[in-house]
Structure 1
Amino acid sequence: MPAEKSSLHIRNKHRHPYDFDQLISCVPELKQYVFTNAYSTVTINFSIPKAVKLLNKALLQNFYRIQDWDIPEDNLCPPIPGRADYVHYIADLLAEYRNTIPEGASVKGLDIGTGANLVYPLIAYHEYGWKMTGTDINESSLANAREILEHNPHLSSAVQLKYQSESDYVFRNIIGTEDRFMFTMCNPPFHDSEEAAIKGNIRKTKNLGKPKSRKPLFNFGGQQSELWCEGGELAFVKRMINESTLYSSQVLWFTSLISKKDNLPQLTALLKNIQAVDFKIIDMAQGQKISRILAWTFIPEEERKNWLL
């Protein structure tokens, strides 16, 4: 029996090994991709995009009551356990100055770059009842996200989608003058070019034991806006930090995933320069993958407990 995934957040539903019999009962098509490896562990081949997508579909149905989840083949198919971790660590952040985690529709969150998969809002609503807004610069991605919502009418009042019409901006066009959010979240594009994204995927598929092919095949999918942008993760988050100053009184905590640890010194120096009241670096881990959340606020500590109440 595989060990519990102790690196995941204590409230993460995916700390225990997958029950593939249960998952296959949710999505029968998954069965053809399930096998027992050389270590006697029941698993799937994570280098096969179709297998990863079907696993996600089963996980979302089994654990989060999401029906008929699907995404186009060329869109990012995120690993569900890691996405759930981000949501749970945000819950801890919001609970820091309270006795309990704030739950329900009074907690409003903003997911920057929600993509076609809509995973963060789906998990955030199911786990804590939060009201979420998902944004994206890709209209086709948002169209697919709307289809997911149409298949899940219980989410109609819980999840809103907004199109970002100007790719140079993060919060402009999205946060209105009357809007207030307890948090923002983002999984920024990591690479600075398509070439870098392809090289990164070749390294990843090699680690998964899959032979190289002439045509790059992203096992977790991904379009340009999801995987790379000019300047990569560092430039994107710098832009987000600078723009956050314009909405300093409307958001309790701004947050972003940071995949590359070497980016933190420049980002924290920028936060000090723009006079953020506080910032935190929250470590996360999923297997061998190490990541962290960078969170910052302009709200004084004594005001945070009663913020939005």
Structure 2
Amino acid sequence: MTTEKSSLHTRNLHRNPYDFDQLISCVPELKHYVFVNSYQTATINFSLPKAVKLLNQALLLHFYHIKNWDIPEANLCPPIPGRADYIHYIADLLAEQRSEIPAGSSISGLDIGTGANLVYPLLAQRSYGWKMLGTDINKDSLNNAQHILDHNPDLSPVIQLKQQPDPDHIFKNIIETGDRFTFSMCNPPFHDSEESALKGNLRKTKNLNKSKSRKPLLNFGGQQSELWCEGGELAFITKMIEESAQYSSKVLWFTCLVSKKDNLPKFITLLKKIKVLDFKTIEMAQGQKVSRMLAWTFIPQKSRKDWL
């Protein structure tokens, strides 16, 4: 029996079960990885990196008209439905200032750590027509992201890329004097070390396979800058919040995903300390995984409509 994925955002295009016939017509190679499970449902083995990548290629081509999407084997292969949810919740946040979701290139977003996959700018642009800037500290990742843009020339005027030369900074070197962003977004490195990242992937692989595999399959891939940083999520988002105060007039809404619920009170304490005018925590669920979007702004309520 197939059911709608009701935990996903109501505007998410992936709430219904995957139509694999449709997806295989987009990426024929995917057919070699599709099977019918014990619930008589067509699916793939999500612990196989190749299967996940082919599924992503098909989803991005079918739903978002992104051609020739590809990433190196070592890079993060993002689950598209969950990534789309973050975009839709940002759209809801912006819609609070007016009666409709603002669309078009007058809305500009900044994606911190866009990675080789460029997935957030692609989804944001195709879903709402927003203009996006993707940043990363990894030059190879940005080269791959540019390769995706080269295969989709209509996106080049509305999605730009910029390298962060200093890993100790997030907004500095990126936001310049004349810049103004409607929002920033980030899916930060979660782990605090390579060992922690590998352990996390071992747990994920065991859950996906229901097996006792001892070898962590990095089914979602991931370079260091994508999966771990010194101090993990807590240190990274703390740095982001502190640095955001220096760019308080340049971004309407700063947002970031928070995986560890226990970290939230620390972030909220810090937001109050730097005197933000408003902050929100929005829960997002994809299957059993619950994440949350933390959003904050320094812009007074009466001025926010002017940004949209």
Shorter-chain TM band: over 0.9
Q: Where do residues 274-285 of structure 1 align in structure 2 (5 Å cutoff)?
A: 274-285=274-285
Distance in 2 between residues matched to 1:41 and 1:262, nearest whole Å: 36
Q: CA deviation at 1:230?
A: 0.4
Q: Deviation string for 1:115-161 (max 9, x for gaps)? A: 00000000100110000000000000000000000000010101000
Match of 1:101 in 2: 101
- TM-score for the superposition, normalised by structure 2: 0.98
**AA matched with 1:158:** V
**AA matched with 1:244:** S
Distance in 2 between residues matched to 1:305 and 1:238, nearest whole Å: 28
Matched, 1:62 2:76: no
Matched, 1:91 2:94: no
Match of 1:288 in 2: 288
- TM-score for the superposition, normalised by structure 1: 0.98
Contact 1:125 / 1:132 at 8 angstroms: preserved in 2? yes
Match of 1:220 in 2: 220
Distance in 2 between residues matched to 1:266 and 1:142, nearest whole Å: 32
Q: Where do residues 223-238 of structure 1 align in structure 2 (5 Å cutoff)?
A: 223-238=223-238
Q: CA deviation at 1:211?
A: 4.2
Match of 1:162 in 2: 162
Distance in 1 between residues matched to 2:212 and 2:256, nearest whole Å: 32
Matched, 1:46 2:46: yes
Structure 1: give runs of 5+ residues left out of the alignment. Answer: none
- What is the DSSP-based 3-state SS (H/G/I as helix, E as strand, rest coil) of the residue aligned with 1:306? helix
Matched, 1:17 2:17: yes
Q: CA deviation at 1:228?
A: 0.3
Identity %: 73
Q: CA deviation at 1:12?
A: 0.3
Match of 1:150 in 2: 150
Q: Deviation string for 1:155-184 (max 9, x for gaps)? A: 010100000000000000000010000000
Q: CA deviation at 1:217?
A: 2.1
Q: CA deviation at 1:302?
A: 1.1
- What is the DSSP-based 3-state SS (H/G/I as helix, E as strand, rest coil) of the residue aligned with 2:78? coil
Contact 1:73 / 1:221 at 8 angstroms: preserved in 2? yes
Query: When the two structures are aligned, how many residues end up with a matched partner?
Result: 308
RMSD (Å), alpha carbons? 0.9
Contact 2:205 / 2:216 at 8 angstroms: preserved in 1? no
- What is the DSSP-based 3-state SS (H/G/I as helix, E as strand, rest coil) of the residue aligned with 1:255? strand
Distance in 2 between residues matched to 1:180 and 1:137, nearest whole Å: 21
Matched, 1:127 2:127: yes
Distance in 2 between residues matched to 1:231 and 1:2, nearest whole Å: 41
Structure 2: give runs of 5+ residues left out of the alignment. Answer: none
